[in-house]
Amino acid sequence: MDRDKFSVQQIRPFRKRLSQWTGQKIKDWIEPQTGSTATTASDPETLKSTATGPKATSLEKHDNCFASQPSTDPDHHRLQFSAIPVANFSIDAYSDTGYPKDYPPNINVDCVEFLGNVQSSTTYVKRDLGFQGRLGDHILLSYGDTMYSDGNYSDKWRGMTSDSMAFATHNPLVVVDPVLNDDGYPPQFCPLMDDLNEDPAECALGITNVVEIGPNQGLIYFLLNHRPNGTNNLMGAGVATVQLKTNTYPPRPSIKRLGQYWWDATCEPWYGDICALRWGPHVYAYGHGGANNPWIYLTRVQHDEATNLECYEYWNGTEWQKDRLMTKTLGESESVFWQINQGQVVWSRYFGCLIFIYCDNWMNSKVLMKTSQRPEGPWSDPMTLYQATPLQEGSSIYAAVPHPYFDESGKTLVVTFTNHPNTVQAIRATFD
């Protein structure tokens, strides 16, 4: 059945579909009963099971800070399916040469709050990553391996996809999966291509954040992995376009790959598999340098030409060039980062510069932060923003991602990371 037909005006069929997704109580989130008391629980399991219960889930105290509870406004749950508040400034307002504050900034972390585990309010899945991007008034979250679960989040095999897409909500611990299959789980977002014989039993696609290039139009970078019998063979990095359909409720993102891949992973950097950034007129994509190469490299393109491979240029450590970089000749001099796992670069209004929130390759469970005035650097030395505790002995966290839309001022910053195995967790840092 085509879910695009479920418009706001066709509320009865939409209610039926919602009931199939998440149970009868979700209707109470969208249309709270008059005089009802909205739940203050921040645990998505409580949100799934009750729409009006007064029970609040307490959050752990860290460094004399407490996580704030979600709004008790009666319309709070209505907003689970609507636009999250996002910064009302545009990155285009900042030129490549002018910055509103002195650099380097003086960064002092007042406290860090552990918020809890991030879960979906419309389905039961375990997943990792969670890069954030914006299209219009909506924040899209890009996830990696997404494993289907049950209400107890058991490990019984029910299927999986190699990537999925969800919406952020006002609550850092709650996301919404707007598109579900007939079994109530999110389908693969960035699709495999049948005409190129990409078998879902052997092929996977990793994705990072969506970058806005036009009204409700975006760009996303992917990495194609051929992994028969669990053995990774990275094929290439590519580009896909994303369109957000806002005439449905919830809005529905769709995607189209521009070919199998653009950059050959066997001899070129994997552009975009770290993250991407819209900065002024350009889109920047950061990528690993290939197998046994610890360095990170950078490409950029004018945002209105981002779907044309010939328009990309590449940072060689000194200047931008049109010739593509080949990994057999690359080293430190052309790079922008070293020993990076994954993360994301965003603008910080509070510090007046770009910040890079990430995890490195040392398996130390640290959330790290660097600063720069330009996407290509030079970047500062790292500082530790948070020391996480692994869920399992000998394990670690990875893929720290900043979510600046929760606080337009930038004085506080929500960060998520994946705590192995496949548990996305959130913290909130407060700066002096």
| Nearest-angstrom CA–CA distance, 377 and 336 | 7
In the predicted structure, residue 97 carries a pLDDT above the cut 60: no
pLDDT value for 21:
40
| Nearest-angstrom CA–CA distance, 36 and 33 | 5
In the predicted structure, residue 29 carries a pLDDT above the cut 60: no
| Nearest-angstrom CA–CA distance, 417 and 127 | 11
Which pLDDT tens digit goes with each residue over 374-412? 999 999 999 999 999 999 999 999 999 999 999 989 999
Could you give the domains of the chain?
A: 3-431 (2.115.10)
Which pLDDT tens digit goes with each residue over 416-425? 999 999 999 9
pLDDT band at 165 (very low <50, low <70, confident <90, very high): very high
Query: Of 122 and 47, which is predicted with more confidence?
Result: 122
pLDDT band at 94 (very low <50, low <70, confident <90, very high): very low
pLDDT band at 121 (very low <50, low <70, confident <90, very high): very high
| Nearest-angstrom CA–CA distance, 249 and 194 | 29
Which pLDDT tens digit goes with each residue over 208-230? 999 999 999 999 999 999 999 88
Query: Of 28 and 297, which is predicted with more confidence?
Result: 297
pLDDT value for 99:
57
Residue 222: strand, helix, or coil: strand
**301 beta partners:** 283
Q: How far apart are the first and last CA of the chain?
A: 52
pLDDT band at 263 (very low <50, low <70, confident <90, very high): very high
In the predicted structure, residue 44 carries a pLDDT above the cut 80: no
What's the rounded mean pLDDT across residues 40-52?
38
Residue 189, C-beta contacts closer than 8 angstroms, at least 6 positions apart: 142, 161, 163, 164, 165, 207, 253, 255
Closest CA to 317 of 334, 332, 304, 305: 334
pLDDT value for 249:
82
pLDDT value for 230:
85
pLDDT band at 114 (very low <50, low <70, confident <90, very high): very high
pLDDT band at 26 (very low <50, low <70, confident <90, very high): very low
pLDDT value for 147:
98
Distance of CA 231 to the CA centre of its chain: 25
Query: Of 267 and 9, which is predicted with more confidence?
Result: 267
414 touches 428 (CB < 8 A): yes
Residue 265 exposed, middle or buried by CB count within 10 Å (0-12, 13-18, 19+): buried
Please give the single-letter amino acid code of residue 191. P
Q: Token pair 């970089």 is at which residue?
A: 325
Helices (H), 40-157: 44-49
pLDDT value for 53:
28
CA–CA distances in Å: residue 12 to residues 3, 114, 183, 224, 421: 13, 40, 21, 40, 39
- Name the percent of the chain lying above pLDDT 90: 74
Average pLDDT, the chain: 83
